[in-house]
Amino acid sequence: MPRDSQYLHPRRPPAEPLHAATVLLLRDTPQSDGTSVLEVLMTRRSDKASFVPGAYVFPGGGIEAQDADPAAHALADHRPAQTGQRLTEALAALRESFEEVGILLARHADGRWADAQDIAALDRQGPFATQVAARGLRLAADAMYWLAHWTADRNLPRRFAVPFLVARMPEGQEPVADETEQFEPVWVRPQDALARHAAGQFFMIFPTVRTLERLGQYTRVQDVLDALAHEQPLWISSPRSGLLAGKEARYMEHEPPYGELALVCPDGHGQHPLDWQCERALPLLRNVQRLTAANPGVMTGPGTNSYLVGDPATGYICIDPGPAEPDHVERLWRAAGGDIRAIVCTHSHPDHFPGAAPLQALVATHGRARPPILGLPSQPTAQAHSRFVPDRALADGELIALTGSGPGGDITHTLEVVHTPGHAANHLCLLLREDALLFSGDHILNGSTTIINPPDGNMAQYLDALARLDALCAQHGVEYIAPAHGYVLGDARGVIARLVQHRLAREAKVLAAMQARPDGSLEDWTRLAYADVPERMWPLAQRSLLAHVERIRALEPGND
């Protein structure tokens, strides 16, 4: 984790979440063509509600003491996995669905669902379990399945931790809103609810929207229940928010901005701008700034990220000065106050190193010591536009330190050099030791996998380097990766594991293509192994396919 002194915002404990439960009641609705569509029950919250007034939601509410009462648990039919808190949550959702929309997930002793007569005999505001027992009913917690778990964003003053459960709508019952907390019960296809929300006609909050997006992938209720038979939620999320186009935007863990928001706003301040721009350096920590070059494209994403590590007391190291674009070079110089002590290039591809010499000259022209250009020289396998000779070659494991004194005392920022061939023979990564932040160059990207282009690229070396980076992350407790393209990544070791898994899965497809077409060309194998990739990307994919082919052949018996 970064040092507390380097965070941009004061650390503060997020509000403790309140516990609640909600249920998505589902049904299959027949269509005129003989098919059916999946629909979910939603209601509109009171305009006077203290929490999300006027929003369309699923029935649910806070967990109460009565939901944890052993007497209530004894009245519930449940699966072996539904014990303790899991059963309490199911009973809370079950109770709330009755109180808010008059749906009673309960059965008679002979297995019949509770009917309109049973529902009419119960007082929605009375003691729930006592009344159910008096009718000779058993609560059908076993009809509920755990779909997801949401915990509200850390920047909210009032937060809830909520399991989202699903259940098939009981036959013979109709929803009737309580007209106090909930109004206008409506059955709606997830896709239709999302379309109406996008049109401004059906207000929903972020977890509701994202749940409907996932639910819309299913066509029948049974498909949903089958997906949950393993008794684990499909996702667990505590979203994070930032600013996009000046407006609050929320993201889940799998989305590209999430890791950056976790780094910059760990306690959920939610003020971090996420718009890609090239005019200003963006602070990520007090000692780390990112300036993105104006070179967006298929290969560069939003542009090449140049990083400045350091502060006014220590001076700065520039990582990957990017293309030799005068405005970008000058912005880097200005963001560092002209005090650049060294320039490090992660590798010699033309979107990373050409700005080094102009930046070096600009620093020297304004009266400061000429900063050395550091890195690893390109190998003979590099293409002509990737020929690079640093002022000094770095050694694997070398430490580059900035030191200085400030109001809080002495401070040091140390970068450890890690040679990581694979994407390029002279590729290196840098670990900011004091803050456990890995600068990954092009070895690890956010939003795509890097291309391995032989002969300078090598798939075996790439995978070996990922293993080394994983060990380094474990050793130093690295949670965040700052790539040369895209947002900061969180869950560093998880990212690396998924990259390895992706590459090996792709290699299995390449091997299958080679076996299916032993006399095929690279184009033939690409068509088979990258069938899930848009055809326009196949020429680029073919380079990585060749790297896989080389690794596969090197692993064949007799080629050791």
pLDDT at 560 exceeding the cut of 70: no
pLDDT tens for 427-463 read 999 999 999 999 999 999 998 899 999 999 999 999 9
pLDDT tens for 388-432 read 999 999 999 999 999 999 777 899 999 999 999 999 999 999 999
Mark out the alpha helices in 409-491 (DSSP H runs).
459-476
CATH assignment of 280-497, among 3.30.230.70, 3.30.200.20, 3.90.226.10, 3.60.15.10: 3.60.15.10
CB of 429 within 8 A of CB of 443?
yes
Answering whether pTM is above 0.75, one says yes
pLDDT tens for 190-224 read 999 999 999 999 999 999 999 999 999 999 999 99
Q: What is the mean pLDDT of residues 529-550?
A: 95
Task: Give 122's pLDDT tier (boundaries 50, 70, 90).
Answer: very high
Q: Determine the pLDDT at residue 291.
A: 98
**What is the rounded average pLDDT for all residues in the chain?**
95
pLDDT tens for 277-287 read 999 999 999 99
Q: What is the mean pLDDT of residues 526-535?
A: 95
Task: Give 319's pLDDT tier (boundaries 50, 70, 90).
Answer: very high
CATH superfamily of the 18-238 domain: Nucleoside Triphosphate Pyrophosphohydrolase (3.90.79.10)
pLDDT at 60 exceeding the cut of 60: yes
Q: Torsions phi, psi of 426, nearest 5?
A: -105, 25
pLDDT tens for 9-47 read 988 899 999 999 999 999 999 988 888 999 999 999 888
Sorted by sequence, the CB contacts under 8 Å of residue 424 that are 6+ apart come out as 347, 348, 349, 378, 382, 386, 442, 456, 457
In 218-303, beta strands by DSSP E: 235-237, 240-244, 247-251, 282-285, 288-292
Q: What is the mean pLDDT of residues 310-323?
A: 97
Torsion sign over Cα 369, 375, 379, 382: negative
Q: Determine the pLDDT at residue 180.
A: 80
HEC profile for 367-386?
CCCCCCEEECCCCCCCCHHH
pLDDT-above-90 percentage for the chain = 89
Among 443, 451, 455, 320, smallest CA distance to 380 is for 455
pLDDT at 79 exceeding the cut of 60: yes
Q: Determine the pLDDT at residue 50.
A: 72
d(CA 493, CA 470): 6
pLDDT at 559 exceeding the cut of 70: no
Region of 311 please: left (phi>0), alpha (psi -120 to 50) or beta: beta
Domain ranges (residues) in the chain: 18-238, 280-497, 503-555
Q: Determine the pLDDT at residue 334.
A: 98
CB of 305 within 8 A of CB of 292?
yes
β-strand pairing of 144-151 with 76-77: unpaired
Tokens of 419: 């040679």
pLDDT tens for 128-151 read 999 999 999 999 999 999 999 999
28, β-bridge pairs: 38
Query: What angle, rounded to 10 degrees, do the helices at 538-555 and 522-529 form?
Result: 100
pLDDT at 48 exceeding the cut of 90: no
β-strand pairing of 144-151 with 305-311: unpaired
**pLDDT higher at 269 or 39:** 39
Rg (alpha carbons) of the chain, rounded to whole number = 29
HEC profile for 479-545?
CEEEECCCCCECCHHHHHHHHHHHHHHHHHHHHHHHHHCCCCCHHHHHHHHCCCCCHHHHHHHHHHH
pLDDT-above-70 percentage for the chain = 99
